[in-house]
């Protein structure tokens, strides 16, 4: 004969299993809603709240989603989906644009992106007209160096990904200029010093310098309005003439 205590224990266990199944189903429903509502891998806090608008206590849900690794906080107010919940790779370049702005990807990262320098950059480097910053995040280090506002938008490229997302990247000409004028410790006052910096320090091949757009370099020099940038552009043009 089955005891009463056994039946009570069995009933409690069944209720517990039902609760667990309900919570799992509810949890999977939340994940499905997020993926249907948020089309991209990178998203902000407002997009997250909007996706959870029909659920009670959305902020508690966000805390739970973070704890379970469904979403990852890149910085305050900016997220990506966790490894097991992505439908495509996230873009570090898009994140760089979103983490701190106004900014664009440039400097060492952009130079390597365009094939001008042989070594890649462990950090994703950008320029900004605001104060320089650095952000150590779960998806890597993001560095931002300050450049003057004059000429900031000249030479920018909008790189569109296959899914329609896009990020701002310094073109090769702008990346070279940004790198030169952001290296504060440089004491270069001659054409020879400029070329040694480009060819030896940065290890940009002379052939790649010759392929830069001279008209765009002139526009950058005119927009920046500094003797330092003009010297850089004149040096690159001189190299081209010497090798032609």
Q: Per-residue pLDDT tens for 143-183? A: 999 999 999 999 999 999 998 899 999 999 999 999 999 99
Rounded mean pLDDT, 3-24: 47
- pLDDT, mean over the chain: 89
Is pLDDT above 90 for 13? Answer: no
Q: Are residues 140 and 223 both part of a single domain?
A: yes
Look at residue 24 and tell me whether its pLDDT is greater than 60.
no
Q: Which of 33, 67, 85 is the last residue of a domain?
A: 85
Give the residue-averaged pLDDT of 230-237. 96
Q: Which of 40, 66, 85 is the last residue of a domain?
A: 85
- At 12, the pLDDT band (50, 70, 90 cuts) reads low
Pick the last residue of a domain from 25, 50, 85.
85
Q: Are 78 and 98 in contact (CB under 8 A)?
A: yes
**Under 8 Å between Cβ of 71 and 80:** yes
**Statement to judge: residues 72 and 98 lie in one domain:** no
Are 27 and 138 part of one and the same domain?
A: no
Residues 115 and 187 in one domain: yes
Q: Angle between the 214-224 and 172-182 helix axes, to the nearest 10 degrees?
A: 40
Two tokens at 49? Answer: 């709240």
Give the model's pLDDT for residue 4.
56
With beta carbons less than 8 A apart as the criterion, state whether 198 and 209 touch.
Answer: yes
Paired tokens of 35: 């993926």
Would the pLDDT of 70 be above 50?
yes
Supply the Cα-derived Rg of the chain in whole angstroms.
26
**Which residues constitute the domain of residue 78?**
4-85
Q: Looking at residue 226, what is its pLDDT?
A: 92
Q: How many domains does one find in the chain?
A: 2
For residue 186, the model assigns a pLDDT of 85
Mean pLDDT, residues 219-229 taken together = 94
Residue 11 is predicted with a pLDDT of: 58
Give the tens place of pLDDT for each residue, 86-142: 999 999 999 999 999 999 999 999 999 999 999 888 999 999 999 999 999 999 999
Listed as own residue / partner, the contacts of 144-147 with beta carbons closer than 8 Å and 24 or more positions apart are: 144/100, 144/103, 145/107, 145/182, 146/182, 147/178, 147/181, 147/182
Mean pLDDT is lowest, of 58-62, 206-210, 219-223, for 58-62
Q: Provide the pLDDT for residue 242.
A: 85
Question: Are 78 and 151 contained in the same domain?
Answer: no
Band of the pLDDT at 22, cuts 50, 70, 90?
very low
- Of 175, 184, 186, nearest to 217 by C-alpha is 175
CA distance 33 to 10: 34
| Residue 38 pLDDT > 60 | yes
């Amino acid at each position: 004969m089955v005891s009463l205590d056994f039946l009570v224990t069995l009933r409690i266990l069944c209720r517990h299993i039902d609760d667990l199944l309900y919570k799992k189903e509810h949890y999977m429903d939340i994940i499905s809603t997020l993926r249907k509502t948020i089309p991209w891998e990178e998203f902000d806090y407002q997009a997250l709240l909007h996706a959870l608008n029909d659920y009670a206590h959305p902020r508690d849900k966000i805390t739970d989603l973070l704890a379970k690794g469904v979403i990852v906080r890149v910085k305050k107010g900016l997220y990506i989906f966790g490894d097991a919940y992505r439908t495509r790779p996230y873009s570090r370049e898009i994140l760089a644009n979103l983490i701190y702005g106004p900014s664009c990807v440039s400097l060492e990262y952009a130079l390597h992106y365009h094939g001008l320098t042989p070594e890649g950059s462990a950090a994703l480097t950008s320029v900004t007209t605001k104060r320089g910053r650095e952000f150590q995040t779960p998806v890597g280090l993001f560095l931002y160096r300050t450049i003057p506002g004059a000429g900031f938008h000249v030479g920018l490229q909008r790189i569109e990904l296959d899914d329609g997302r896009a990020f701002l990247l310094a073109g090769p000409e702008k990346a070279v200029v940004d790198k030169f004028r952001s290296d504060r410790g440089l004491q270069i006052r001659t054409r020879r010093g400029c070329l040694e910096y480009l060819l030896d320090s940065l290890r940009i091949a002379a052939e790649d310098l010759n392929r830069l757009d001279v008209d765009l370099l002139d526009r950058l020099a005119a927009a920046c309005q500094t003797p330092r940038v003009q010297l850089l552009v004149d040096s690159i043009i001189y190299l081209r003439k010497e090798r032609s």
